[in-house]
Amino acid sequence: MNNIKPDHHLMIEGAGCASCVGKIEGALKATNGVVNAEMNFADRTVQVTGAVKTEELIKAVESIGYNAKPIDDSSAIDTFDEKEAADWVYYKNLMRDTFIALSLGVPLMIYSIVVGEMTVETSLERMSWLVVGILTFGVMYFSGKHFYVGAWKSFKNHSANMDTLIALGTGTAWVYSMVVVFAPDAVPLMARHVYFEATAMIISLINLGLALEIKARGKTSEAIKRLIGLQAKTATVIRDNKEVQIGIEQVLLNDVVKVKPGEKITVDGVVLEGHTSIDESMLTGEPMPVEKTEEDEVVAGTLNKSGMILFRATRVGKDTALAQIINMVKRAQNSKPPIGRLADVISAYFVPVVMIISILSALAWLNFGPDPAIAFAIVSATTVLIIACPCALGLATPMSVMVGVGKAAEAGVLIRNGEALQTASKITAMILDKTGTITEGAPKVTDIVLAKATDEKEVLQLAASLESGSEHPLAQAIVESALEQDIELLKIESFNAITGFGVEANCNNKALLFGNDKLMKLKGIDLTGFVEQAQSLAKEAKTPMYFAVNGELAAIIAVADPIKSDSISAIKRLQTNGIRVIMLTGDNKETAAAVAKKAGISEFFAEVLPEDKANKVKELQDSGETVGMTGDGINDAPALALADVGFAIGTGTDVAIESADITLMRGSLHGLADAIAVSKATLRNIKQNLFGAFVYNVAGVPFAAGILYPFFGILLSPVIAGAAMAFSSLTVVSNANRLRLFKAKEH
């Protein structure tokens, strides 16, 4: 049975003691169909094996007083509510920590500005600073504990991170100050300063920076939140002839689902009953609603506009197109383009290098600095540790990718990974497949030029009846055209297909002949006066065919695959952006030339076999172009794979997600220009971020070490360094957020 899973993974809530394990396992094992149940008490999860429905397992757990929920190991769809709640708690904690630290830091800062340097000379001053030192320790404990614990754990793990720098910086300032308080004689008179205000202010500023960063980060995931928000929470299914409202995760394969007008489609399925129009714009970017009736596919997350429908669920949970799209966007958002690799390498060595620079800086001051050298050494070492910001460097690329990929998804462009994003920004030549990419991919009858015949309908009826025996795509266009006009097809006899020429048959005692000029010549049909008409149709990118009845030409029927309404403007957009556009087609030269001309393309290759498409890509690459290849993803697969960036054109929501670097969810070629525009904007944003982060660190660290002191007498305060560090990563996230305002050009 399809609706029964062999393995289940559940999260158990309310299991507070180890003795619960036996109870829960027992209850699950007692459920019909369960072969085994094993609970992991450490992470409160249970793995159940057996052919059984998940909801039965949940019921079994609930019956003994616990709660269970299925763990979706794919994490394709999860709600952002939990994440937002967790982020909110973290934000509040950070703000509380900020205010605790500020309540000590600000008065100390004011004191240092108003009264002057915080020196320790008299015993009263020693006592007073001792109290302040203890208060600062309190701030370090309550507001900065996470830095110290994190630093210690990393240290034990032979790694170092931002916590390490903050803990060392603030710790050094505090320890030095306490040495001055307890043993002032150990340091020269001029160096008897305390730096408690630096410790308190750095902790407060960095907590504040983290809090603001959380807020800003929330905005970077807006696109994915919107996609997740498309998922309905509940579904109405028909079970045992009754309507039941259930949670979306409980919908099973083959369930019959009911959707009323105004409701969202809950899972993917095929319409069983009813007729409606569905708004799929949220997934495809296509603004026009799509008509759906029996046998048509519906997709989760789209909006049912007009009628009530019943449909059979064909894909549920993580298998729905929406879940796959979300999964793909999430994966792409977390992948890195090659441009970010250097920053990664630097990040890996960054913190220990800064620690070494800090020591070298202290040694330089001790050896060559003016008096009090020890005080200068402590200030510069602390400032170096605090100003360095590996986070800005580490955040530069992922934050922009997160926003850029999300922005593309909003426009119906699915970018597979960071590498595709980066390469798409560099495309110099774009190859477009003709059929289905530039054109609709569905040939239609465009002209019927009457010769001997007088009734167009009769011509279409006879021609369609004859062609109903053929499987040729052009023949199907004629049959469909007749059916659209409710023309009844007649019975044919003695059907014969003459390969390369056309077809012949008898119908109602009439001898019918349909095909090209060669066939007509072969059968001795007189085409006088009509060859020119056929040629002029061919020049309009149409394929003309002759239809003869009883040895006389009855009509010319022309079939064409129309160019999509917005292909011309989209191609122009690409060309305006300096991209060389090339068309490939298997069609004959005349039709190819006509389509290319109509579409505004000057370069084209006609009569290209599917297997030769990849060779054309290779030729262009060898000539130094960065090549994008756009196709429907079916017979273009080798060319798509070989191209620097392969673009698959999805038809509606039937997306070939795994087949290309970039998938366009709607048929419009504007998706290409959008994809390239968003890639360029994202890469520009990443470069700004990386530049900012590099310059900040490269300039900031020597500045903090006191390189300006010998020339201008300037030495940076650790408090200023703390503020700069906290806000440098915030700046990166905010700059990435600017991408949210990016809009693809008018189309």
Partner 1 sequence: MLINLLGLVLIALIVWWFWLYKPNKTIVQNSEVLIEVKDGVYSPSSIQVSASQPVTLKFMRKDQSPCAETILIPSLDISKQLKLNEVTQITLLNLSPGEHEFHCQMQMYRGVLKVI
Among 24, 27, 328, 395, which residue sits at the site for partner 1 (rule: CB under 8 A)? 395
Dmax (CA) for the chain in angstroms is 125
**Among residues 161 and 304, whose Cβ is nearest to partner 1?**
161
**Residue 417 touches partner 1, criterion: CB under 8 A:** yes
The upper half-sphere exposure of residue 16, i.e. CA atoms within 13 Å in the direction of its Cβ, equals 2
| Chain centre distance of CA 621 | 27
Give the one residue of 344, 455, 619, 658 binding partner 1; rule: CB under 8 A: 344
Residues 6+ apart with CB under 8 A from 676: 424, 425, 427, 574, 577, 579, 628
Give 377 or 677: the residue with its C-beta nearer to partner 1: 377
Which residue from 36, 234, 293, 334 is in contact with partner 1, where contact means CB under 8 A? Answer: 334
Q: Which residues pair with 48 in a beta bridge?
A: 8, 37
State in angstroms the smallest separation of the CB of 25 from partner 1: 18
Q: Is 78 in the site for partner 1 (CB under 8 A)?
A: yes
Half-sphere exposure at residue 220, Cβ-oriented, CA atoms within 13 angstroms:
27
Select from 534, 513, 517, 520 the least CA-distant residue to 470.
Answer: 513
Among 59, 83, 518, 743, binds partner 1 (CB under 8 A): 83
Question: Per CB under 8 A, which of residues 633..662 are in contact with partner 1?
Answer: none
CA dist., res. 206 & res. 386, Å (int): 10
Q: Based on CB atoms, which residue is closest to partner 1, 189 or 356? A: 356
Residue placing its CB nearer to partner 1 in the complex, 94 or 198? 94
Site mask for partner 1 (CB under 8 A), range 125-164, x = bound: ---------------------x--xxx-xxxxxxxxxxx-
744 within 8 A of 406, measured Cβ to Cβ:
no
Question: Residue 367 interacts with partner 1 (CB under 8 A)?
Answer: yes
- Note whether 194 and 177 are within 8 A (CB): yes
Tell whether residue 592 is a contact of partner 1 (CB under 8 A).
Answer: no
DSSP letter for 487, please: P
Of 676, 686, 647, 677, which Cα lies nearest the Cα of 664? 647
433 is annotated as an active-site residue: yes
Contact 413, 664 (CB under 8 A): yes
Indicate the pairing of strand 580-584 with strand 603-605: parallel
Strand ranges of the sheet holding 34-40, from the earlier edge strand across to the other edge: 34-40, 45-52, 5-13, 67-70
372 preceded by cis ω (within 30°)? yes
Residues 303-332 that bind partner 1 (CB under 8 A): 330-331
CB of 222 to partner 1, least distance (A): 15
Residue 71 is a binding residue for partner 1 (CB under 8 A): yes
| C-beta atoms surrounding 130 within 10 Å | 15
Question: Residue 712's CB: how many other CB atoms inside 10 A?
Answer: 8
Given 347, 461, 465, 630, the residue binding partner 1 (CB under 8 A): 347
By CB under 8 A, residue 335 contacts partner 1: yes
Beta strands in 274-368 (DSSP E): 276-279, 290-292, 297-298, 303-304, 309-315
| 331 or 743: CB nearest partner 1 | 331
- What does the DSSP assignment read for 80-101? HHHHHHHHHHHHHHHHHHHHHH
Of residues 21, 238, 359, 720, which one binds partner 1 by CB under 8 A?
359
- The sheet carrying 290-292 orders its strands as 290-292, 276-279, 303-304
Helix-, strand-, coil-residue percentages of the chain, each rounded to 5: 55, 20, 30
Q: How far is the CB of 74 from partner 1 (least distance, A)?
A: 9
DSSP 218-263: HHHTHHHHHHHHTS-SEEEEEETTEEEEEEGGG--TT-EEEE-TTS
Q: Which is nearer to partner 1, 91 or 742 (CB)?
A: 91
Strand segments, DSSP code E, in 486-550 are 493-498, 502-507, 510-515, 543-549
Shortest distance (Å) from residue 168 CB to partner 1: 11
Phi/psi class of residue 633: alpha, beta or left (left: φ > 0; alpha: ψ in -120 to 50)?
A: left
Q: Which neighbouring-strand residues pair with 310?
A: 258, 273
CB atoms within 10 A of CB 149: 12
For residue 138, the number of C-alpha atoms closer than 13 Å in the C-beta half-sphere is 12
Q: How far is the CB of 379 from partner 1 (least distance, A)?
A: 16
Q: Is 95 in the site for partner 1 (CB under 8 A)?
A: no
> Segment 425-454, which members bind partner 1 (CB under 8 A)?
none
CA distance 248 to 173: 56
Which is closer to partner 1, CB of 46 or CB of 482? 46
Identify which of residues 12 and 715 has a Cβ nearer to partner 1 in the complex.
Answer: 12
Q: Which stretch binds partner 1 (CB under 8 A): 113-121, 264-272, 393-401, 677-685?
A: 393-401
- Does 214 bind partner 1 (CB under 8 A)? Our answer is yes
CA-based nearest residue to 678, from 428, 412, 437, 431? 412
Smallest distance from the beta carbon of 651 to partner 1, in angstroms?
27
Per CB under 8 A, the list member of 193, 292, 336, 542 interacting with partner 1 is 336
Of 39 and 309, the one with the shorter C-beta distance to partner 1 is 39
Residue 73 binds partner 1, judged by CB under 8 A: yes
List the one residue from 194, 355, 492, 555 that touches partner 1 (CB under 8 A): 355
In angstroms, give the least distance from the CB of 221 to partner 1: 10
Q: What is the Cα–Cα distance from 698 to 679, expressed in whole angstroms?
A: 28
Stretch that binds partner 1, among 212-220, 454-462, 479-487, 504-512 (CB under 8 A): 212-220
Listed ranges 182-190, 291-299, 391-399, 713-721: which one lies at the site for partner 1 (CB under 8 A): 391-399
Nearest CA-CA partner of 565 in 648, 667, 662: 667
Q: Which of 30, 35, 86, 698 binds partner 1 (CB under 8 A)?
A: 86
**Residue 75 interacts with partner 1 (CB under 8 A)?**
yes
Among 391, 405, 431, 673, indicate the residue that binds partner 1 (CB under 8 A): 391
Check 97, 433, 561, 636 and give the catalytic one.
433
Q: How many residues bind partner 1 (CB under 8 A)?
A: 62
Of residues 583, 589, 590, the one with CA closest to residue 607:
589
Interface pick for partner 1 out of 4, 23, 33, 93 (rule CB under 8 A): 93
**Residues 34 to 53: which contact partner 1 by CB under 8 A?**
40, 42-43, 45
Distance in Å, CB of 37 to partner 1, minimum: 16
Closest to partner 1 by CB, 226 vs 598, is 226
- Region near partner 1 per CB under 8 A, out of 14-22, 99-107, 210-218, 238-246: 210-218
Q: Which is nearer to partner 1, 257 or 355 (CB)?
A: 355
Comparing CB distances to partner 1, the nearer of 118 and 377 is: 377
Q: Of 23 and 217, which has the nearer Cβ to partner 1?
A: 217
Give the separation between CA 646 and CA 659, rounded to whole angstroms: 8
Residues from 664 through 723 that contact partner 1 (CB under 8 A) = none
Binding site for partner 1 (CB under 8 A): 9, 11, 40, 42-43, 45, 71, 73, 75, 78, 82-83, 86-87, 89-90, 93, 146, 149-151, 153-163, 210, 213-214, 217, 330-331, 334-336, 344, 347-349, 351-352, 355-356, 359-360, 362-363, 366-367, 390-391, 393-395, 398, 417
Q: Catalytic residue numbers?
A: 433
